[in-house]
């Protein structure tokens, strides 16, 4: 399954109507078709991470709509927003957000802890995700013993294990050297082949000339330019 994303008149305002009011996003309008890979370019503080947070239903907008296959996730009650995140979205964070005291396999498995699937299906889903992220050979390793690039691939496997239709990657290469950044680019190419809808928020120039990227969108001070 793939997902179309339609963002309309989206605003995110912190401390609204107070002296320290801050406009993180200002009237953002974006349409992303199913299976597209879109790069959101902007410097730190431009609103990239805020936008991904809203699309992933980790927070709610101050105003505006986010339609995922015509469902307005901006209006979902928290319990339904959580179900949307678990079913439809895979997150890849700059800081990896892994559990250092667990193995690679168990970090990926943790995503499925609330899933009502049998053990054979669970193992199959985990193994497929590990293979797609090129980290299956490290499945028994403790995360604390991995390199930065290996941690990123573990995080990618975790993002893929629920077979989400949408992948949101927030500065995915910020903590990687060039070789590992190129490995991530190759995995991004796999996302294209799998027909995932992908948004990458970044200021890394490595994404500037990739032939399989559908569009690049610039954001400055919370506004699309």
Domain ranges of the chain: 36-60+78-224
In the three-class reduction of DSSP (H, G, I as helix; E, B as strand; rest coil), residue 23 is classed as: strand
**At 166, which helix (H) or strand (E)?**
strand 166-170
The Cα–Cα gap between 98 and 104 comes to 9
pLDDT digits (tens, 9 = 90+) for 164-187: 999 999 999 998 999 999 999 999
In the structure, what pLDDT confidence band is assigned to residue 2 with cuts at 50, 70 and 90? Answer: low
The Cα–Cα gap between 111 and 6 comes to 27
- Quick one: fold of 36-60+78-224? Rossmann fold (3.40.50)
pLDDT digits (tens, 9 = 90+) for 84-108: 998 899 999 888 889 999 999 999 9
Residue 78: alpha-carbon gap to chain centroid: 19
Residue 17: alpha-carbon gap to chain centroid: 31
pLDDT digits (tens, 9 = 90+) for 39-60: 999 999 999 999 999 999 999 9
The Cα–Cα gap between 93 and 91 comes to 6
Residue with tokens 């294990």: 161
Q: How confident is the model at residue 1, as a pLDDT? A: 56
Rounded percentage of the chain residues whose pLDDT exceeds 70: 99
């Amino acid at each position: 399954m793939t997902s179309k994303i339609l963002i309309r008149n989206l605003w995110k305002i912190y401390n609204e109507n107070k002296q320290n009011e801050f406009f993180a996003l200002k009237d953002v309008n974006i349409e992303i078709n199913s299976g597209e890979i879109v790069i959101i370019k902007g410097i730190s503080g431009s609103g990239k991470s805020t936008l991904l947070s809203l699309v992933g239903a980790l927070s709610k907008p101050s105003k505006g709509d986010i339609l995922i296959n015509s469902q307005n996730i901006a209006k979902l009650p928290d319990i339904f927003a959580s179900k949307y995140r678990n079913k439809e979205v895979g997150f890849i964070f700059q800081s990896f957000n892994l559990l250092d005291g667990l193995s690679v396999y168990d970090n990926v498995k943790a995503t499925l802890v609330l899933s009502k699937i049998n053990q054979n299906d669970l193992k199959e889903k985990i193994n497929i995700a590990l293979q797609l992220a090129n980290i299956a050979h490290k499945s028994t390793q403790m995360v604390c013993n991995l390199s930065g690039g290996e941690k990123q691939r573990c995080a990618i496997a975790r993002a893929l294990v629920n077979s989400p239709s949408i992948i949101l990657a927030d500065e995915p290469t910020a903590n990687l050297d060039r070789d590992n950044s190129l490995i991530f680019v190759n995995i991004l190419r796999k996302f294209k082949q799998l027909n995932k809808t992908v948004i990458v928020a970044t200021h890394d120039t490595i994404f500037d000339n990739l032939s399989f990227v559908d569009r690049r969108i610039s954001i400055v001070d919370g506004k699309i330019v």
